[in-house]
């Protein structure tokens, strides 16, 4: 197996079902890349992302950020990529959502409940929320931010909850979560 195939295999394990079409091109940001960029505290535009070659986009998506040392090394690497590709370093940003909202032990945020209900999507139970991976919780919060919602939010809810992804009316006729 080549290095390319091995890296693509590793990436395929990190993509959600609705992102499978990105494998081999990464023309849009997969959630794992957004997650890594937020954890690095750096912003990159879609135009900049698309200007990078596939191998570099894949590298960013596959950054290992388990330790402070790995995170610092990835931040330095990404800034070097940016200077070479764009002539300037990337700007630092505050992560949104904040890691405390989706990290281990985080409770189901009320803003996510409201956003999902507004979109007539099922709200996961607290037990489901706790069972989701940190990346899944991050993705739900990232895609549900006001002004940033799109069809990817429904697709992610479907990936996580399956056919129960749409909210069902309760006995009073108003929409409620499952």
Model confidence over 97-140: pLDDT tens digits?
888 899 888 899 999 999 999 999 999 999 999 999 999 999 99
State how far the Cα of 134 lies from the Cα of 139, in Å rounded to an integer: 9
3-state DSSP call for residue 169? strand
State how far the Cα of 58 lies from the Cα of 24, in Å rounded to an integer: 9
What's the CA angle centered on 91, arms 71 and 149, to 5 degrees?
A: 90
Model confidence over 29-88: pLDDT tens digits?
999 999 999 999 999 999 999 999 999 999 999 999 999 999 999 999 999 999 999 999
Q: pTM for the complete prediction?
A: 0.86
Q: Phi first, then psi: what are they for 169, rounded to 5°?
A: -65, 145
Residue corresponding to tokens 């399956």: 162
Length of the chain: 178
Partners of residue 37 on adjacent β-strands: none
Domain ranges of the chain: 3-86, 99-176
Confidence at residue 168, expressed as pLDDT on a 0 to 100 scale: 58
Is residue 167 within 8 A of residue 175, CB to CB? The reply is yes
3-state DSSP call for residue 74? helix
- Rounded mean pLDDT of the chain? 89
């Amino acid at each position: 197996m080549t290095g390319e195939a091995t890296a693509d295999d590793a990436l395929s394990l990190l993509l959600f079902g609705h992102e499978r079409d990105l494998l081999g091109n990464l023309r849009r940001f997969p959630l794992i890349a957004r997650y890594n960029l937020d954890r690095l505290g750096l912003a990159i535009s879609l135009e900049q992302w698309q200007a990078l070659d596939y191998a570099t986009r894949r590298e960013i998506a596959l950054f290992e950020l388990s330790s402070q040392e790995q995170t610092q090394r990835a931040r330095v690497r990404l800034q070097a990529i940016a200077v070479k590709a764009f002539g300037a370093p990337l700007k630092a940003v505050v992560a949104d959502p904040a890691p405390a909202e989706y990290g281990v032990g985080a409770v189901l945020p009320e803003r996510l409940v409201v956003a999902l209900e507004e979109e007539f999507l099922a709200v996961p139970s607290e037990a489901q929320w706790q069972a989701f991976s940190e990346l899944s919780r991050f993705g739900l919060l990232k895609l549900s931010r006001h002004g940033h919602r799109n069809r990817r939010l429904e697709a992610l809810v479907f990936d996580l909850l399956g056919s129960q992804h749409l909210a069902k009316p309760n006995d009073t006729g108003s929409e409620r979560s499952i």
